[in-house]
Amino acid sequence: MLALIYFIILAVITLGAAACVLLSRHPLYGGLSLIVSMVSLAGIYGLIGSPFLGVVQVMVYAGAIMMLVTFVIMVLNGARDSKTPMFDKVSLFIIPAVIVLAGLVGFALVRSPLAFDTTTLRGSVALTSKTLFDVAQTGPGYFVLFEILGLLLLSAMVAAVLLAKKRLGSVESENMEDKH
Amino acid sequence: MELQPIFIQLLALALFAIGIMVAISRRNLFFVLMGIELALNAVNLSFVGFAKTLPDTMSVAGQIIPLFSIAIAAAEACVGFAMVIFIFRNRESIDADTYSDMRG
């Protein structure tokens, strides 16, 4: 009963913040309400028994990714062209279509039998680390995936640096520096 | 009345729908990326919700995969915002409608 009350509170916060993302005009307000949504989702993870995932959610999503979002918004001064309409004629078709699609999927979900299993494992730090790194017990699958993920993050970082840096010495960058 | 797994799935579905709406209907590139992040979050929540309906060792996978999904989302946000900066330098605009001629 208490879990249901907590879940309803957190779900209302999550959905309200997500609706704020949809309706807010300035991207900075959208980013801030997205942070609220992420943090309350972390609370839901803790509530249904995956505390480590909730901690990772707070660290990576609400910390790192949203820091990147707000940083880029502030660097680019994203309020500059907020004169364009928030929703146009295409949105009139997209939003009902998505709502109808969600209604169909929700109908199929409600019809399916789902129940919590009492023997399910709690996703604690010990269980997660044992699954990821104890190669003798769980096989090398997750560990190889973990290493590949490190390579992916490294290549993403290199790609981001290469994309976002100014090309020093080129004609374009000098023109840009003159302009600013 | 106790907490049912279907509530978690419905919450994930609503979040996913809002994320898709934000990603498709908004014109600002930041909102497009934020909508993608919302939809990814909803998928993670759905993973964990379904993992809790499985018996003991089977429920581990559904709680490990979202970790990888979060890391991939971090990489995606990193490259995505670098692309936004790159495009903004070329066009001086973050309105998605101004990038409609496929020349880069």
Closest CA to B43 of A53, A70, A119, A157: A53
Interface contact flag, A65 B37, Cβ < 8 Å: yes
Residues 146-175 of chain A with CB under 8 A from chain B are: 146, 149, 152-153, 156-157, 159-161, 163-164, 166
- pLDDT reported for residue B17: 95
The mean predicted confidence, pLDDT, of chain B is 87
Asked if pLDDT for residue B37 goes beyond 80, the answer is: yes
Structure pTM? Answer: 0.87
Complex prediction ipTM: 0.89
Domain that holds residue A36: 1-80
- pLDDT reported for residue A97: 92
Domain-embedded: residue A100 = no
Q: Mean pLDDT throughout B17-46?
A: 91
Q: Which two tokens stand for residue A171?
A: 């004609």
- State the amino acid at position A122 in one-letter form: R
Domain-embedded: residue A41 = yes
More confident residue, B8 or A174: B8
A153 to chain B: which residues are within 8 Å by CB? 71, 74-75, 78
Domain-embedded: residue A122 = no
- pLDDT reported for residue A166: 72
Q: Tell me the pLDDT tens digit for each residue of A58-89.
A: 999 888 888 888 888 888 875 555 566 777 78
Sign of torsion over alpha carbons A38, A40, A46, A48:
negative
Asked if pLDDT for residue A48 goes beyond 60, the answer is: yes
- pLDDT reported for residue A40: 95
Among A50, A80, A110, identify where a domain stops.
A80
The mean predicted confidence, pLDDT, of chain A is 85
Q: Mean pLDDT throughout A168-180?
A: 55
How many CB pairs below 8 A link A and B? 237
> How confident is residue A134, by pLDDT bands cut at 50, 70 and 90?
confident
Domain with A68 in it: what CATH number?
A: 1.20.120.1200
Among A80, A97, A120, identify where a domain stops.
A80
Domain-embedded: residue A18 = yes
C-alpha span between A126 and B64 (Å, rounded): 12
Non-local CB neighbours of A66 within 8 Å, separated by 6+ positions: A31, A34, A35, A38
Domain check: are A144 and A74 in the same one? Answer: no
- pLDDT reported for residue A72: 87
> How confident is residue A177, by pLDDT bands cut at 50, 70 and 90?
low
Residues 24-63 of chain B with CB under 8 A from chain A are: 24-28, 30-31, 33-35, 37-38, 41, 44-45, 48-49, 51-57, 59-60, 63
Neighbours of B65 (CB within 10 A): 17
Residues 89-108 of chain A with CB under 8 A from chain B are: 90-91, 94-95, 98-99, 101-102, 105-106
Domain-embedded: residue A35 = yes
Question: In total, how many domains does chain A have?
Answer: 2
Among A80, A95, A117, identify where a domain stops.
A80
Domain-embedded: residue A145 = yes
- pLDDT reported for residue B104: 45
- pLDDT reported for residue A152: 94
Domain-embedded: residue A90 = no
More confident residue, B99 or B25: B25
Domain-embedded: residue A37 = yes
